[in-house]
């Protein structure tokens, strides 16, 4: 037996219950196109928000969709991340350079 496929035109008309999220969602506005490496593969958003789910995984939300679903609990809801051009990074030297500090990032450093 095939799994049911739902569209906006054939949703069940009974059995629906109301649900509310238990946690807040962290998000930041990103103006212009951006791509997020999600657990389901890369997703590109033309203009929207970069959000983090309850498990700490990032995902994009289109700006119009975001405004329908979320309201800010932050004192400054209009913070944005400007589009920054990608600059190729040179390959690091194979050996530490004298007088140049070496930085080692741990996962906790970048996940906050």
Is the confidence at residue 109, as pLDDT, over 50? no
| Residues 6 or more apart in contact with residue 84 via CB below 8 angstroms | none
What is the tens place of the pLDDT at every residue in 66-107? 999 998 887 666 666 555 554 444 454 555 555 544 444 444
User: Does 83 reside within a domain?
Assistant: no
Rounded Cα distance, 71 and 93, in Å: 47
What confidence score (pLDDT) does residue 108 get?
40
What confidence score (pLDDT) does residue 105 get?
40
Rounded Cα distance, 8 and 22, in Å: 26
Instruction: Judge residue 90's burial from the number of C-beta atoms within 10 Å of its C-beta, 0-12 exposed, 13-18 middle, 19 or more buried.
Output: exposed
Average pLDDT value for residue range 56-70: 93
What confidence score (pLDDT) does residue 82 get?
59
**Structural domain count of the chain:** 1
Q: What six digits make up the tokens of 40? A: 């389901």
Is the confidence at residue 58, as pLDDT, over 90? yes
Rounded Cα distance, 70 and 68, in Å: 6
User: Does 16 reside within a domain?
Assistant: no
Rounded to a whole number, what is the largest CA-CA distance in the chain?
70
Structural domain that includes position 36: 22-71
User: Does 40 reside within a domain?
Assistant: yes
What confidence score (pLDDT) does residue 10 get?
93
User: Does 93 reside within a domain?
Assistant: no
What confidence score (pLDDT) does residue 49 get?
94
Q: What six digits make up the tokens of 42? A: 């890369």
Q: Which residue has the higher pLDDT, 58 or 90?
A: 58
Total number of residues shown for the chain: 112
What is the tens place of the pLDDT at every residue in 4-42? 999 999 999 999 999 888 888 999 999 999 999 998 899
Q: What six digits make up the tokens of 82? A: 């400007």
């Amino acid at each position: 037996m095939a799994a049911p496929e739902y569209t906006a035109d054939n949703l069940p008309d009974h059995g629906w219950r109301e649900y509310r999220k238990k946690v807040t969602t962290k998000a930041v506005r990103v103006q212009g196109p951006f791509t997020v490496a999600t657990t389901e593969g890369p997703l590109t958003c033309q203009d929207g928000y970069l959000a983090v789910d309850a498990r700490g995984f990032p995902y994009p939300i289109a700006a119009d969709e975001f405004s329908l679903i979320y309201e800010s609990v932050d004192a400054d809801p209009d913070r944005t991340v400007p589009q920054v051009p990608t600059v190729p990074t040179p390959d690091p030297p194979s050996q530490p350079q004298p007088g140049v500090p070496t930085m080692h990032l741990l996962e906790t450093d970048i996940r906050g």
